[in-house]
Amino acid sequence: MKATGLIVEYNPFHNGHLYHLTESLKQSQADVLIVVMSGHFTQRGEPTIVNKWERAKMALLNGADLVVELPYVYSCQSADLFAKGAVSILTHLRVNELIFGSESGNINELLTLDQIMQEDQFQKKLKQQLKSGLSLPKASAATLESFNLNHELATSPNNTLGLYYLKAIRELNSPITAGTLTRIHSDYRDLAPTHHAISSATSIRNLREKGQAIDAFVPKNVAHLLKEHYELTATYHTWEAYFPFLKQKILTLTPKGLLGIHDVEEGLENRLYAAMIKSSSFEEFMNHVKTKRYTRTRIQRICAHILTQTEKTWIRALQIENGAPYVRILGSTPTGKRYLKQIKKEVTVPIYSKFELKAHEILKHEQAVTAAYSAILPEPLCTQLNQEEYMNFPLHIER
């Protein structure tokens, strides 16, 4: 069976994702579609709109055959590590092709740019720009311009992530072939819909929080699941909802404790603590903390690390740059099950269908992630979600 892989967050699954999924199948002529999906926190450090089990169900109902979890230690990270974790999992699962969305839509253009960015001269100039205090995206743009290259090609968000996928394939010596589709009608940064049927996940979340209709932008089954979730929980998973828990953690950890959290550089711990003392909302806190150097995305990821007690010494010891050490199945269709049975003997890392106490410590950390994510839920839903982390078997969807 030929397998095609997608790397996703589905926060939530929408019509643009459905287009990506169906067109990827057409382009690759695959027999099975495998999705690597972030768990409860995204690459930009945001809590997901609904939990990973619900989002896995959305994917399976709309064309995915196998949904596997991208562990927190990769999903809530810089693009480099996010890509490394996801590509390594697809490699473990013997995927033939990875297809990602991009502004370019031209894989040869991106492969050529990837080659240029590997060159010593380019890397030397990039390091100089980073030392000057620029963020990685801005440093990359400045470096590209210095080489008379179109900086938009490498700094548009989906192109940038695509280049990290190409880098991960190369560094992991993966046999996966890369392909791309042009992202259509919306940008992930759009705060409001710009098209009648396809809109960004950000704008859909904003509409939902305001109580406005989202049915035009998501499949019917997704609209139903989202409505059902809110009727059950009366809760939106936003940073404002988590603010009381974040405030308690930051003020009780104190600067000394904050310094031990992953991605907190020396000096930032004092800034975080001082900002929290005078903040009464998450937005106020962000406005006090973020700078050109410390972007909103980076601070949000640090906030997630604080809630989940993700410490820098622990992350360093894991050597996550080498790739994910296991595969965890969240759900499958009969086609996905057949594929797993076919490749099982070829896979060289453990495949977990259920949480195990003897599992790798990266998987064990998902307990803390779920505990943090579930904290805003009313009882007994909070307890139920924590129990699901231990007890759930993969979802099985018959389409």
Detail the residues annotated as belonging to a binding site for ATP: 7-20, 101, 158, 183-184
The tokens 């010593």 sit on which residue? 120
Beta strand pairing call for 66-70 and 327-332: antiparallel
Amino acid in the structure at residue 169: I
Residue numbers belonging to the annotated binding site:
7-20, 101, 158, 183-184
Where does the chain have alpha helices with state H? 15-28, 52-61, 72-75, 79-92, 107-118, 120-131, 136-146, 151-155, 157-171, 201-209, 220-233, 239-258, 268-277, 282-289, 296-307, 312-318, 334-343, 361-374, 381-391
User: If DSSP codes are grouped into helix, strand and coil, which group holds residue 160?
Assistant: helix
- Cross-strand partners of 276: none
**How long, in residues, is the chain?**
399
* Number of other CB atoms surrounding residue 254 within 10 Å: 11
Closest-CA residue to 159 (of 117, 119, 97, 204)? 117
32 and 65 in contact (C-beta within 8 Å)?
yes
328 and 68 in contact (C-beta within 8 Å)?
yes
How far are the Cα atoms of 6, 57, 88, 308, 398 from residue 24, in angstroms, in the given order? 8, 19, 20, 35, 21
38 and 29 in contact (C-beta within 8 Å)?
no
CA distance 331 to 51: 13
Please, how many CA atoms are within 13 Å of residue 272, restricted to the half-sphere of its CB? 32
The phi and psi torsions of 76 (rounded to 5 degrees) equal -110, 65
- Contacts of residue 104, Cβ cutoff 8 Å, sequence gap at least 6: 110, 153, 156, 159, 162, 180, 182
